[in-house]
A and B are shown apart, each in its own frame.
Chain A
Amino acid sequence: MARVEIEDVEVELFMRALQLRHGYDFSRYAPASFKRRVLNLAANAGCRTIIELTDRLLREDELVPQVIAGLSVPVSEMFRNPSVFRVLREDVLPVLASYPVINIWQAGCAFGQEVYSLAILLEEAGLYDRSQIFATDFSDAALVRAQEGIFPAREARSYSENYLAAGGKRSLADYYHARYEFMKFDERLKRNVTFANHNLVCDGVFCEAHLILCRNVLIYFTNTLQDHVLSLFRDSLVRNGFLCLGNRENIDFASAARDFSPVNARERVYRKNADAP
């Protein structure tokens, strides 16, 4: 019993140190997965205990990006849950097509798999040239990788299958060059993408968006932080703007959910209510 109680104290101290010394606030992250990440981080940094990691974190500023990268765990896929992208293609983009300029905010973009997925979707709908994608994450390391657009070739098969299941009109291979064990996505797909650091915990409205995509990020947040971020999304969306969350997210406990109505509840696609503040 004692051992795990000690770990919980250590996680708390680590979190406080990160906040007091470096300004990152993880106090409203869901505790169980946060603890697992901190334990992994300590093990990967060769520390025997979390306290040892905390000690280094206090004294070595250069460790901060590595810690943030470790806490961010940017696991993603292209066209993850293809049916969602089908709904975006068939039900959302035709509505967005009526705007002269389309702003899309992709929050928590990880290594960019969804950014390139979106760009391809817009390209095939003939809308990309009047679209602007704002891809944000709070991990600089993830943003660097997202801008590179390079993914392991072993993913090619599952990405292609997802792309086709999402209603892709060509072959995914038309959009990347395969080199050795990597695939690099066409530079042109980035022509209307802006990558930027944005922390959903403490940063404000980022742009005036017609569509916000934020999938599998709020699952890591407690109810209060989830509610805070949903309010931020509401304030960032145009009247009747769209919001797309991850496939298994539950917003029943957030009061800001009142300001959204489902377009497709199963696929977690919502629309901001016309009378929302």
Chain B
Amino acid sequence: MSASPSAVVMGCSAGGMGALRTVLGGLSATFPRPVVVVCHTGSEDVTTFCELLELASTLPVREARERQLMMPGVVHMAPSGYHLLLERGGRFSLSIDERVSFARPAIDVLFDTAASACGKDLIGVLMTGANNDGAAGLRTIRRLGGLAIVQDPADAQASAMPQAALEIAGADHVVPLKGIAPLLNQLCP
């Protein structure tokens, strides 16, 4: 059996653009893992969204393409209108199945499939948002041995999503936005 791939998956919604700018801007330029992101509010025009984020990010930010391998040190953004899934070998696939928690792309779909693909070599990060997408996915990540980081709801622009995550999944780390990138740099040297 080949080793499972390792990755960081992130989810956010309302207020997500600002949160991502802070987190991606704080990651080390030699960050060793792929970063895969679902942001509900950013995906309408994903090309522009990636360009805007790249201005703030130390790492390249690209739209995730189906069948492609995720790459270490690259931020992969879910395209608009599709669920983004991670397959076992670390390749992406897309689906237009029904919305999950009113969203497509849904954070839960990425988190669940990434948990199966990466097992304990996965870190899930859930940040600001006004719904409860991602909570169930984060629970799967923890159940399969991965690590959960949740933005402190008191610090989030919209607190519902991190709050729901804490209730449903719990977390290994609860930190304010500014603390997320330093923590990731430390966890993934």
Shortest CB-to-CB span from A130 to chain B, Å, is 32
Is B88's CB within 8 Å of the partner chain A? yes
Is A141's CB within 8 Å of the partner chain B? no
The answer to whether B109 and A36 touch across the interface, beta carbons within 8 angstroms, is yes
**Residue in B67, B87, B98 whose beta carbon sits within 8 Å of that of A32 in the complex:** B87
Contact with B along A12-24 (1 / 0, CB 8 A): 0000000000000
The answer to whether A250 and B87 touch across the interface, beta carbons within 8 angstroms, is no
Please measure, in the bound complex, the distance between the C-alpha atom of A35 and the C-alpha atom of B113, giving whole angstroms.
Answer: 9
The answer to whether A33 and B143 touch across the interface, beta carbons within 8 angstroms, is no
The answer to whether B119 and A1 touch across the interface, beta carbons within 8 angstroms, is yes
Is B18's CB within 8 Å of the partner chain A? no
Which A residues are CB-close (under 8 A) to B96? 75, 216, 219, 246
Please measure, in the bound complex, the distance between the C-alpha atom of A32 and the C-alpha atom of B86, giving whole angstroms.
Answer: 7
Shortest CB-to-CB span from A166 to chain B, Å, is 16
Which B residues are CB-close (under 8 A) to A31? 87-88
Please measure, in the bound complex, the distance between the C-alpha atom of A249 and the C-alpha atom of B85, giving whole angstroms.
Answer: 14
- Chain A: how many interface residues by the 8 Å CB criterion? 24
**Residue in B66, B119, B143 whose beta carbon sits within 8 Å of that of A248 in the complex:** B66
Is B179's CB within 8 Å of the partner chain A? no
Is B160's CB within 8 Å of the partner chain A? no
B residues 75-96 near A (Cβ < 8 Å) are 79, 81-83, 85-88, 93-96
Shortest CB-to-CB span from A63 to chain B, Å, is 21
Is A4's CB within 8 Å of the partner chain B? yes
7 further contact pairs, Cβ within 8 A, besides A32-B85, A219-B82, A219-B96: A1-B144, A1-B145, A36-B113, A219-B93, A219-B94, A248-B65, A250-B67
What would 20 A/B residue contacts be, using CB atoms closer than 8 Å? A1-B144, A4-B116, A4-B140, A4-B143, A30-B85, A30-B87, A31-B87, A32-B87, A32-B88, A36-B109, A73-B98, A75-B96, A219-B66, A219-B94, A219-B96, A223-B67, A248-B66, A250-B67, A252-B67, A253-B67
- Chain B: residues with CB nearer than 8 A to chain A? 65-68, 79, 81-83, 85-88, 93-98, 109, 112-113, 115-117, 119, 140, 143-145
